[in-house]
């Protein structure tokens, strides 16, 4: 199907050819025998016809003006079609309950991230999304749903980065770190902190002094729900540069042996699993970081790493061969105010090594109980410092801040939303947008104040009885809502890509839509209600013997009030367009205005 631009160019070419023929064609025609072949001149073509199907009087006799008018008509038709489609998306971006709040209301804010995801398969690369948060993320909640959705669309596998020691189990991946490992975290009690700031991308580390092993394995009971979290193809280990370390990786490999013949003569096969050595890793060294990488020949759902020596282990990562990875980094009790205390150079090198392109910071719930008008300015300053610390470490990544969900406590025997919640959300949104980060409002998504009470009372429950945390089902539902909003932006991105709508053309479309916006229909005021008939004054008392009392006249019923104007029926929410099929990256048209972003230009 031809694009509108190609149609327009074809029309122009046709008119140019016809005009050229009209100019060079003899006035008296070409004589062939007794016949004469004539071709109308341009002035004859554009003369106003009595039938009324001609162009406007202003263009009569002017072929250039006529062509310009036809081009303008084609443009109007094209812009009208685009305008209707864009309105569908932009109505959601402006009014949708699950919408993102974006810096400068820029609906193209996610473009750079989507471009990296689409190019990952071409480059055989893995794009990492680091999802930081508080206890709301424990067990891989919310992150697992986002991961599954993105990997389903853009490819990828595995749980992403995980610490060497996990104290809270993941519901998607079995993890065991045993041996001479000591855990240090930046988001816990003071006694759990290290004597330095080298924490790496997970805000924690495990100190190795001797021998240890780390095993990760997909949980079989979650295979159906999270089908992509297994099937590792790339295993990485992040340590300090000066680590004195011996490391070996064993993986499970499926072996197929021929054990005879089937009844039809075909080979009879036996499938078994055996443990094999993954071979020597590729080692990349930075100023403060060392990365061991194993590219596996076959995928595996079980990997066991043997370590010996002395080292600081910052993370172990299990990913696919290409696509996207989502790292779940849950920090119980944290308000996200620790990033400025992580060694910035080590953090930057970690982000670079793992190709981190989106950083989600989901915090605020632990701030709410203590927030008041006296400390709100301090809160804004400390959160600003965290966002800027992450931006400094990774200026090539986009940052998305997710604010707290609705949360309630008992007061006077009733559950009520925390008084400081709305103040906290307002402050976090302002800070995020002022620093070029996007914001997603879980409180608004849930339904505002009192929503958590409803979520707790649902059957099955979406919230725990503490009225703060989601159940697994509630976390999955919140993840689905997040993905739906993100998919809307991706579909918008693909729509503009398909129709070659650059940033400049998008501005032109918006201007055209504003100039051609239909005038609003006048609102018809409802007729006022009819006034009720006044009650008749009582008859004067008779002077003498009263005459027989006549039957009283029935009291007139008041005229019914006129019905108020009916509320306009709410427009049905348009069903979200399905996400495009698996991306054929070789056919992707990268908008010219976005190509520079791929060179690492910082988004303004």
Peptide bond preceding 460 in cis form (omega within 30 of 0): yes
Please tell me the predicted confidence (pLDDT) of residue 73: 64
The domain made up of 156-322 is a member of CATH 2.60.120: yes
Q: What is the mean pLDDT of the chain?
A: 83
Strand partners of residue 240: 289
Q: Which residues of the chain have pLDDT under 50?
A: 48-59, 532-537, 539-604
Indicate the pTM of the whole model.
Answer: 0.75
Please tell me the predicted confidence (pLDDT) of residue 158: 96
Query: How far apart (Å, rounded) are the C-alpha atoms in residues 151 and 554?
Result: 78
* Helix (H/G/I), strand (E/B), else coil: 15: helix
> How far from 559 is each of 175, 492, 536, CA to CA, in Å?
77, 54, 16
Please tell me the predicted confidence (pLDDT) of residue 479: 97
What residue spans define the domains of the chain? 4-94, 156-322
Query: How far apart (Å, rounded) are the C-alpha atoms in residues 389 and 394?
Result: 9
Instruction: State how far Cα 226 lies from the chain centre.
Output: 19
Name the token pair of 163.
């610490």
- For 183-218, letters b (16+ CB in 10 Å) and e give bbbbbbeeeebbeeebbbbbbbbbbbeeebbbbbbb
| Nearest alpha-carbon partner for 146 in 345, 360, 339 | 360
């Amino acid at each position: 199907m031809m694009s509108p631009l190609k149609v327009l160019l074809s029309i122009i070419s046709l008119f140019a050819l016809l005009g050229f023929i009209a100019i060079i064609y003899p006035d008296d025609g070409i004589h062939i025998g007794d016949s004469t072949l004539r071709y109308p001149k341009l002035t004859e073509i554009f003369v106003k016809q009595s039938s009324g199907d001609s162009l406007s009087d202003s263009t009569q006799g002017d072929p250039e003006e006529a062509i310009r008018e036809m081009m303008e008509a084609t443009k109007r038709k094209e812009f009208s079609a685009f305008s209707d489609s864009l309105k569908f998306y932009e109505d959601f971006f402006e009014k949708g309950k699950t919408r993102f709040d974006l810096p400068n209301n820029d609906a193209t804010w996610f473009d750079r991230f989507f471009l990296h995801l689409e190019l990952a398969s071409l480059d055989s690369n893995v794009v990492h999304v680091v999802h930081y948060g508080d206890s709301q993320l424990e067990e891989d909640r919310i992150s697992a749903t986002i991961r599954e959705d993105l990997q389903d669309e853009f490819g990828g596998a595995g749980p992403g980065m995980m610490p060497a020691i996990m104290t809270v189990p993941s519901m998607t991946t079995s993890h065991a770190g045993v041996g001479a490992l000591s855990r240090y975290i930046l988001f816990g009690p003071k006694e759990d902190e290290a004597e330095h700031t080298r924490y790496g991308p997970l805000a924690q580390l495990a100190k190795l002094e001797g021998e240890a092993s780390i095993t990760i394995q997909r949980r079989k009971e979650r295979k159906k729900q999270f089908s992509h979290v297994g099937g590792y193809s790339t295993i990485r280990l992040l340590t300090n540069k000066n680590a004195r370390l011996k490391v070996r990786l064993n993986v499970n490999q499926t072996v197929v042996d021929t054990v005879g013949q089937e009844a039809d003569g075909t080979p009879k096969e036996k499938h078994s699993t055996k443990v094999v050595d993954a071979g020597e890793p590729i080692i990349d060294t930075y100023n403060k970081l060392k990365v061991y990488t194993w590219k596996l020949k076959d995928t595996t759902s079980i990997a066991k790493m043997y370590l010996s020596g002395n080292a600081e282990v910052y993370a172990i990562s299990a990913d696919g061969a290409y696509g996207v990875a989502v790292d779940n980094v849950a920090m119980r009790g944290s308000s996200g105010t620790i990033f400025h205390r992580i060694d910035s150079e080590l953090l930057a090198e970690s982000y670079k090594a793992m190709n981190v392109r989106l950083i989600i910071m989901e915090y605020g719930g632990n701030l709410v109980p203590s927030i008041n008008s006296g400390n709100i300015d301090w809160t804004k300053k400390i959160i600003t410092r965290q966002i800027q610390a992450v931006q400094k470490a990774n200026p090539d990544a986009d940052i998305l801040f997710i604010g707290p969900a609705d949360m309630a406590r008992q007061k006077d025997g009733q559950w009520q939303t925390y008084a400081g919640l709305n103040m906290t959300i307002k402050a976090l949104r302002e800070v995020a947008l002022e620093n070029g980060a996007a914001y997603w409002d879980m409180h608004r998504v849930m339904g505002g104040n009192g929503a958590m009470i409803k979520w707790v009372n649902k059957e099955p429950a979406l919230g725990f009885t503490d009225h703060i945390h989601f159940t697994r089902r509630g976390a999955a539902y919140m993840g689905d809502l997040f993905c739906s909003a993100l998919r809307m932006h991706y579909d918008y991105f693909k729509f503009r890509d398909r129709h070659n709508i650059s940033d400049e053309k998008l501005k032109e479309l918006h201007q055209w839509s504003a100039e051609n916006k239909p005038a609003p229909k006048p609102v018809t005021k409802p007729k006022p209600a009819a006034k009720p008939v006044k009650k008749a004054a009582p008859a004067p008392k008779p002077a003498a013997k009263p005459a027989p009392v006549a039957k009283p006249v029935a009291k007139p019923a008041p005229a019914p009030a006129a019905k108020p104007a009916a509320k306009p029926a709410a427009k049905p929410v348009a069903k979200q367009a399905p996400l495009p099929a698996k991306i054929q990256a070789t056919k992707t048209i990268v908008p010219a205005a976005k190509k520079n972003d791929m060179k690492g230009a910082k988004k303004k």
